[in-house]
Structure 1
Amino acid sequence: MYQKLFTPIKIRSMELKNRIVLPAMGTKFSGKTSYVTDQLIDYHVARVKGGTGLSIVEVCSVHSPSAPRGFLSISEDCYIPGMKRLTDAIHENGGKAGLQLWQGSICVGMDPTAQILVASDMPMRPGLTLPGITKEQIAEVVECYGKAAARAKEAGFDCVELHMAHNYLPHSFLSGGINHRTDEYGGSLENRSRFPLEVIRAVRANIPEDMPVFMRIDAHDDYLENGLTIEEVIEFCKMAKEAGVDVLDVSRGNVISAGNKFEVPPIDLPRGFNIDNAARIRKETGMLTIGVGRINTAAFAEEILEADKVDMVVMGRAQLADPDFVTKSKEGRLDEINYCVGCDQGCLDGFANTDCPHITCLRNPAVGREKECEILPAEKPETVLIAGGGIAGLEAAIVLKQRGHLPILCEATDRLGGQFLTAGEAPRKEEMKQAVIAMAHQAEKLGVKIRLNTPVTPELIKEIHPHTVINAIGAVPIIPNIPGADLPFVLNSHDVLDGTQTASGNVVVIGGGMVGMEVAEYLAEKGCKVTDLEMLKEFCADMGSARKTCVTESVYAMGITPVTEVTVTEIKDGMVIGTKDGETVTYPCDYAVMAVGSRSRDGSALEAASLEIGCGYFTVGDAGLARRALDAVREAFDVAITFDKPEVHKDAVKPKKIVFVTGATGKMGQETMKQLLARSSRFKVRILARASAKNKALLKKYMCPALEIVWGDMADYDTILKCVTGASYVLHIGAMVSPMADDYPEDTLKTNIGSTLNIIKAIKAQPDPDAVHFAYVATVAMTGQRLEPIQFGRVGDPINPSIFDYYGLSKVFSEWSVFDSGLKHWVSIRQTGQHPSAKEAGDLPIVTHQPPNNVLEWSTAIESGICMANLCEDWVPESFWRKAYNLSSGKDYRLTTWELMDINLGAFGMGLKDVQDARMMAKYNFHGHYYTDSDLLDDILHFRCIPADQYWGGVREEMRRMAANPLIRAGFPTAEQMFAHNKEVGSKRMGTYWMFENNEENWIKAFFGSREQQKEIKAFDDGYDLHHPSEEETYLDHGYDESKGLENLTLDDLKKAAEFRGGECLAEEVPDIYTPIKWKCADGHEFMMSVNAVLHGGHWCPECLKDSWKPGQIAKKSKFFNQVWEPIHDPGDDYEIPMEYSAYRIREELMEKLGLK
Structure 2
Amino acid sequence: MYEKLFSPITIKGMELKNRVILPAMGTRMSDHKMVTDKLIRYHVARVKGGNGLNMVEVASVEPLSSPKQFLSIAEDMYIPGLKKLTDAIHEAGGKAGIQLWQGSIAVSFDPAAIMYVASDMPVSAELTLPGISVEQIHYIADCFGKAAARAAEAGFDCVEFHCAHNYLPHSFLSGGINHRTDEYGGSLENRARFPLEAIRAIRSAIPEDMPIFMRIDAHDDYLENGLTIEEVAQFCKWAKEAGVDVLDISRGNIITPALKYEVPSLDLPCGFNIDNAAYIRKETGMLTVGVGRINTPELAEQILEEDKVDMVVIGRGQLADPEFCNKAKSGKREDIVTCVGCDQGCYDGFSNLDMPHITCLRNPAVGLEAELEPVPCEEPEKVLIAGGGIAGMQAALILKERGARPVIYESGDHLGGQFLLAGEAPRKQEMKAAMLSMASQVKRAGIEVHLNTPATPELIAEEKPHTVICAIGSSPISLKIPGADGENVVNSHQVLGGKVKVSGTAVVIGGGLVGMEAAEYLAENGCKVTVLEMLPEVCADIGPVRKICVMEEIAKRGIATVTNITVNRIENGCVYGSKDGKEESYPCDYAVVAVGSRSNDSSALEESCRSEGIAFVKVGDALRARRAMNATFEAQEAAVKFDQPEYRAAISKAPRTVFVTGGTGKMGIETVKQLLARKPKFAVRMLARPSAKNKELVKKIADPYLEVIWGDMKDYETILKCVTGADYVLHIGAMVSPAADKYPEETLYTNIGSTLNIIKAIKEQPDPDKVKFAYVGTVAMTGDRPVPVNWGRCGDPINPSAHDYYAMSKVFSELSVFDSGLKYWVSIRQTGQYPPDQGAGEEPIQHHQNPNNVLEWSTAVESGICMANLCEDWVSEEFWRKAYNLSSGKGWRFAHWELMNFSFGPMGIRYQDVFDVTKCALYNFHGQYYTDSDLLDDYLHFRVIPPESYRAEVTAEMEAMMKNPMIAAMMPNTQSMKENLEKISHKEMGTSWMLEKDQEDWIHAFFGSREKQQQIKTMEEGYEFYHPSEENPVYMDHGYDENKALEDLDAEDIRKAAWFRGCELLDETIPDIYTPIRFRCSQGHEYKMSVNAMLRGGHWCPECQRNTWHYADMARKSPFYAQVWTPVHGNEDDYSIPMRFSAFDIWNELKDKLGLV
Q: TM-score, normalised by structure 2?
A: 0.99
Q: Distance in 1 between matches of 2:994 and 2:764?
A: 47
Query: What is the one-letter code of the residue matched to 1:1142?
Result: S
Describe the SS at the equivalent of 2:1124: coil
1:332-343 aligned at under 5 Å gives the runs 332-343=331-342
Find the counterpart in structure 2 of residue 984 from structure 1: 983
Find the counterpart in structure 2 of residue 1042 from structure 1: 1042
Deviates more, 1:651-660 or 1:596-605: 651-660
Find the counterpart in structure 2 of residue 693 from structure 1: 692
Find the counterpart in structure 2 of residue 851 from structure 1: 850
Find the counterpart in structure 1 of residue 1146 from structure 2: 1146
Describe the SS at the equivalent of 1:1021: coil
Q: How far did 1:703 drift?
A: 2.1
Find the counterpart in structure 2 of residue 1115 from structure 1: 1115
Describe the SS at the equivalent of 1:1124: helix
1:961-976 aligned at under 5 Å gives the runs 961-976=960-975
For the pair 1:1051 / 2:1060, whether they are aligned, the reply is no
Find the counterpart in structure 1 of residue 613 from structure 2: 614
Query: What is the one-letter code of the residue matched to 1:434?
Result: A
Per-residue CA shift, 1:185-207, capped at 9, x if unaligned?
A: 11111111111000000000001
1:304-319 aligned at under 5 Å gives the runs 304-319=303-318
Q: Distance in 1 between matches of 2:312 and 2:957?
A: 41
Q: Distance in 1 between matches of 2:239 and 2:672?
A: 53
Find the counterpart in structure 1 of residue 640 from structure 2: 641
Q: Distance in 2 between matches of 1:549 and 1:346?
A: 17
Contact 2:69 2:109 in 1 (8 A): no
Q: Distance in 1 between matches of 2:757 and 2:903?
A: 40
1:392-791 aligned at under 5 Å gives the runs 392-791=391-790
Find the counterpart in structure 1 of residue 109 from structure 2: 110
Query: What is the one-letter code of the residue matched to 1:853?
Result: N
Query: What is the one-letter code of the residue matched to 2:189?
Result: E
Find the counterpart in structure 2 of residue 1124 from structure 1: 1124
Query: What is the one-letter code of the residue matched to 2:192?
Result: S
Deviates more, 1:967-976 or 1:881-890: 967-976
For the pair 1:215 / 2:187, whether they are aligned, the reply is no
Per-residue CA shift, 1:1092-1136, capped at 9, x if unaligned?
A: 111110000101111111122211221111111122225331211
Q: Distance in 2 between matches of 1:138 and 1:202?
A: 12
Query: What is the one-letter code of the residue matched to 2:394?
Result: E
For the pair 1:73 / 2:72, whether they are aligned, the reply is yes
Q: How far did 1:345 drift?
A: 0.5
What percent identity do the matched residue pairs reach?
Answer: 65
Find the counterpart in structure 1 of residue 911 from structure 2: 912
Q: Distance in 1 between matches of 2:1132 and 2:568?
A: 67
Find the counterpart in structure 2 of residue 1100 from structure 1: 1100
Q: Distance in 2 between matches of 1:1018 and 1:427?
A: 77
Q: Distance in 2 between matches of 1:1129 and 1:584?
A: 68
Q: Distance in 2 between matches of 1:481 and 1:744?
A: 40
Describe the SS at the equivalent of 1:841: helix
Deviates more, 1:885-894 or 1:407-416: 407-416
Contact 2:828 2:884 in 1 (8 A): yes
Q: Distance in 1 between matches of 2:884 and 2:521?
A: 61
Query: What is the one-letter code of the residue matched to 1:1031?
Result: E
For the pair 1:812 / 2:805, whether they are aligned, the reply is no
1:1000-1039 aligned at under 5 Å gives the runs 1000-1032=999-1031, 1033-1039=1033-1039
Per-residue CA shift, 1:623-651, capped at 9, x if unaligned?
A: 11111000000000010011012332222
Query: What is the one-letter code of the residue matched to 1:1058?
Result: A
Q: Distance in 2 between matches of 1:1053 and 1:325?
A: 77
Find the counterpart in structure 2 of residue 82 from structure 1: 81
Q: How far did 1:951 drift?
A: 1.1
Q: How far did 1:320 drift?
A: 0.5
Q: Distance in 2 between matches of 1:116 and 1:577?
A: 49
Contact 1:390 1:416 in 2 (8 A): yes
Q: How far did 1:484 drift?
A: 1.3
Find the counterpart in structure 1 of residue 27 from structure 2: 27
Q: How far did 1:705 drift?
A: 2.3
Find the counterpart in structure 1 of residue 266 from structure 2: 267
For the pair 1:1078 / 2:1098, whether they are aligned, the reply is no
Q: Distance in 2 between matches of 1:408 and 1:1109?
A: 71
Q: Distance in 1 between matches of 2:994 and 2:582?
A: 49
Deviates more, 1:910-919 or 1:196-205: 910-919
Find the counterpart in structure 2 of residue 926 from structure 1: 925
Describe the SS at the equivalent of 2:517: helix
Q: How far did 1:962 drift?
A: 1.2
Deviation above 6 Å: which 4+ runs of structure 1? Answer: none
1:842-881 aligned at under 5 Å gives the runs 842-881=841-880
Contact 1:785 1:925 in 2 (8 A): yes
What are the ranges of 5 or more consecutive residues in structure 2 without an aligned counterpart? none
Query: What is the one-letter code of the residue matched to 1:1132?
Result: E
Query: What is the one-letter code of the residue matched to 2:24?
Result: A
Per-residue CA shift, 1:1051-1096, capped at 9, x if unaligned?
A: 2221221221122111211111111111111111111101111111
Per-residue CA shift, 1:538-582, capped at 9, x if unaligned?
A: 110111110000000000000100111111111112111111111
Per-residue CA shift, 1:381-421, capped at 9, x if unaligned?
A: 11111111111011111111121211111111112111101
Find the counterpart in structure 2 of residue 36 from structure 1: 35
Per-residue CA shift, 1:1012-1050, capped at 9, x if unaligned?
A: 111111222331111100102111111111111211222
Q: Distance in 1 between matches of 2:1020 and 2:146?
A: 48
Q: How far did 1:1010 drift?
A: 1.5
Contact 1:832 1:888 in 2 (8 A): yes
Q: Distance in 2 between matches of 1:816 and 1:519?
A: 58
Q: How far did 1:70 drift?
A: 1.7
Q: How far did 1:480 drift?
A: 2.5
Q: Distance in 2 between matches of 1:759 and 1:211?
A: 69
What are the ranges of 5 or more consecutive residues in structure 1 without an aligned counterpart? none
Q: Distance in 2 between matches of 1:839 and 1:440?
A: 54
Find the counterpart in structure 1 of residue 250 from structure 2: 251
Q: How far did 1:504 drift?
A: 0.9
Describe the SS at the equivalent of 2:569: strand
Deviates more, 1:61-70 or 1:967-976: 967-976
Q: Distance in 1 between matches of 2:280 and 2:70?
A: 31
Contact 1:624 1:704 in 2 (8 A): no
Find the counterpart in structure 2 of residue 202 from structure 1: 201
Contact 2:288 2:310 in 1 (8 A): yes
Q: Distance in 1 between matches of 2:260 and 2:987?
A: 49
Q: Distance in 2 between matches of 1:1093 and 1:371?
A: 50
Find the counterpart in structure 1 of residue 1060 from structure 2: 1060
Contact 1:798 1:1120 in 2 (8 A): yes
Q: Distance in 2 between matches of 1:854 and 1:604?
A: 56
Q: How far did 1:785 drift?
A: 1.2
Query: What is the one-letter code of the residue matched to 2:1077?
Result: I
Describe the SS at the equivalent of 2:725: coil
Q: Distance in 2 between matches of 1:1152 and 1:738?
A: 28
Contact 1:68 1:108 in 2 (8 A): yes
Q: Distance in 2 between matches of 1:1140 and 1:345?
A: 56
Q: How far did 1:997 drift?
A: 3.1
Describe the SS at the equivalent of 2:113: coil
For the pair 1:1155 / 2:1139, whether they are aligned, the reply is no
Describe the SS at the equivalent of 1:15: strand
Q: Distance in 1 between matches of 2:984 and 2:522?
A: 58
Per-residue CA shift, 1:489-540, capped at 9, x if unaligned?
A: 1111111111112211110001111111111001000000000011111110
Per-residue CA shift, 1:185-239, capped at 9, x if unaligned?
A: 1111111111100000000000111111000001111111221111211111111
Q: Distance in 2 between matches of 1:936 and 1:520?
A: 61
Describe the SS at the equivalent of 2:1098: coil
Describe the SS at the equivalent of 2:6: coil
Deviates more, 1:113-122 or 1:521-530: 113-122
Q: Distance in 1 between matches of 2:482 and 2:842?
A: 48
Q: Distance in 2 between matches of 1:131 and 1:845?
A: 38
Q: Distance in 2 between matches of 1:1142 and 1:985?
A: 28
Per-residue CA shift, 1:463-490, capped at 9, x if unaligned?
A: 1111111111111111122221111111
